[in-house]
Amino acid sequence: MAFTKLAQDRPRILVVGGGYVGFTVANKIQKAIKETGGVVTVVDPNPYMTYQPFLPEVAAGSMEGRNATVSLRQHLRDSEIVGGRVTKIDHANRTATVEPIDNGQPFELTYDEIVIGAGAVTRAFPIPGLSEVAIGMKTVEEAVSVRNWVLERIEVASLLEDEDARRRALTFVVVGGGFAGIETISELEDMARAAVNRNSRLRTSDIRFIMIEAAPRIMPEVPADRAEKVVAELRARGIEVLLNTSLADATDGHLQLINMGDKSPAGEVDTDTLIWTAGVAASPMLKNTDLPLDERGRLRVGADLRVTGDDGVIEGAWGAGDNAAVPDLSGGGVGGFCVPNAQHASRQAVQLAKNLLANRRGEALGDYYHETIGVVAGLGLWKGVANFKGKTIGGPLAWLMHRGYHGTAIPTTERTVRVMATWALNQIFGRDTSSIRHQRSPRLAFQEATGTAPEKTKAHL
């Protein structure tokens, strides 16, 4: 096969990010652009799109990590894929700077039009110790690590004589009671319970799960009464839900909690496992562009998804998804803008692709309009919550809706089949609760064989 360099001679549509927005837009426009002699170039450090709603299930071992991803090269065959990170956009000169993965030499890519779908990053606060001990839930790597870590802690604890050390190993804390946090803690509790049931040295009452939420309620996406029911269900499962509570200090895993109102102490907890899901912020890369941003650092776009500044539309620049402030014409958004979720990102991407092609043909553009049909969340096997067309549903039906929706919403039939097959096999054989122990240090076995293994240090997540 001939070696092909990056296209230099063809008009380029540069797609920044291969997530929901980038993958969907490239998929929809790649053939049409190729037929007109152009090229669609997708730049993403990962060679796959991550289906983030599946991450809590990956962390809980209900799904394998790879099944929550969709390969860019396998499914975007008419696009040019670049493994790198866009670090700067000089739209006035239609040039983006790309840093290849593994810190290669940065290079510049020129383009005709740019689609910006770089998504969001975990938003953390300057809490002492947080960055040293906590982990997010935004990537497959994080979810896979959490699965192995939680299972390993359970195994370790089952041999610990020291009561304090044992309690610490079996205490799992999640900060942030949005969808991601609630799904994460409930799925993990479900897995931990299954793992403990297989270990005769432990009882389920030994494990402790704590949810910390600064607001007076969880899951702002569902009605308050349903959210209260979810809290009651979680508490009935033994999960401690601390509302109006914030994390003040996490040094060495010794958590100091405070009440949100008067900042008075709200308890102390020792843990080896701290998972942070308390919000996201638009990609910081946007600050390194000459494009207009709002006060929250999001790309300013019109309802037709063209980037729009104070002086009107900026030709050749498009944006959607978590990194853009997209007007919510249905009136259901926060501050007039769509909330950052997959339901919006995937649909905005479809409208963006249509508009981009229409614009090139000189046709009229359409506005993005979507009334939220509802939300579904899995809370562990056979447990869920759904809010569909104003009706709230719980229990096994909501869980089946969650699986039915996400199993078919993940892009490509190939992934749907893999996901469904894994679920079916897990139903038959049960989930695998053994930890792949040295996933974090795969060279350890070789180092031990060669006598160069580092001295034992306490493992961190």
Ligand X SMILES: Cc1cc2nc3c(=O)[nH]c(=O)nc-3n(C[C@H](O)[C@H](O)[C@H](O)COP(=O)(O)OP(=O)(O)OC[C@H]3O[C@@H](n4cnc5c(N)ncnc54)[C@H](O)[C@@H]3O)c2cc1C
Which parts of this chain interact with ligand X (CB under 6 A)?
A: 16-22, 43-46, 50, 52-53, 55-56, 85-86, 117-119, 137-138, 179-180, 283, 285, 321-323, 340-343, 345
Closest distance between ligand X and the C-beta of residue 288, in Å? 9
Closest distance between ligand X and the C-beta of residue 401, in Å? 12
Q: Which is nearer to ligand X, 86 or 242 (CB)?
A: 86
Q: Please, are residues 266 and 256 in contact by the beta-carbon 8 Å criterion? A: no
Residues 283, 202: Cα–Cα separation, whole Å: 43
DSSP 456: P
Q: Where are the alpha helices (DSSP H) in 170-223?
A: 179-197
Residues 148, 437: Cα–Cα separation, whole Å: 7
Q: Which is nearer to ligand X, 246 or 289 (CB)?
A: 289
Residues 421, 391: Cα–Cα separation, whole Å: 30
Q: Please, are residues 72 and 40 in contact by the beta-carbon 8 Å criterion? A: no
Q: Is 108 helix (H, G, I), strand (E, B) or coil?
A: strand
Q: At what angle do helices 179-197 and 224-236 cross, to 10 degrees?
A: 20
Residues 56, 53: Cα–Cα separation, whole Å: 7
Q: Which is nearer to ligand X, 108 or 363 (CB)?
A: 108
Q: Which is nearer to ligand X, 43 or 191 (CB)?
A: 43
Q: Which is nearer to ligand X, 21 or 301 (CB)?
A: 21
| Structure-block tokens of residue 33 | 């652009």
Closest distance between ligand X and the C-beta of residue 180, in Å? 4
Closest distance between ligand X and the C-beta of residue 456, in Å? 32
Q: Which is nearer to ligand X, 256 or 387 (CB)?
A: 387
Q: Which residue's Cβ has the minimum distance to ligand X? A: 19
Q: Which is nearer to ligand X, 281 or 358 (CB)?
A: 281
Longest CA pairwise span in the chain (Å)? 74
Burial of 325 (0-12, 13-18, 19+ CB in 10 A): buried
Q: Which is nearer to ligand X, 105 or 457 (CB)?
A: 105
| Phi, psi for residue 140 in degrees, rounded to 5 | -60, -40
* Residue among 396, 348, 301, 402 nearest 28 (CA): 348
Q: Please, are residues 22 and 49 in contact by the beta-carbon 8 Å criterion? A: yes
Distance of CA 76 to the CA centre of its chain: 21
Q: Which is nearer to ligand X, 273 or 323 (CB)?
A: 323
Residues 289, 89: Cα–Cα separation, whole Å: 5
* Residue among 13, 30, 78, 75 nearest 49 (CA): 75
Place of tokens 């109102």: 261
Q: Which is nearer to ligand X, 196 or 303 (CB)?
A: 303
Q: What's the N-to-C CA distance of the chain in angstroms? A: 43
Closest distance between ligand X and the C-beta of residue 305, in Å? 12
Closest distance between ligand X and the C-beta of residue 411, in Å? 11
Residues 456, 174: Cα–Cα separation, whole Å: 27
Place of tokens 């009136």: 331
Can you give the C-alpha Rg of the chain in angstroms?
23
Residues 381, 60: Cα–Cα separation, whole Å: 10
Q: Which is nearer to ligand X, 265 or 284 (CB)?
A: 284
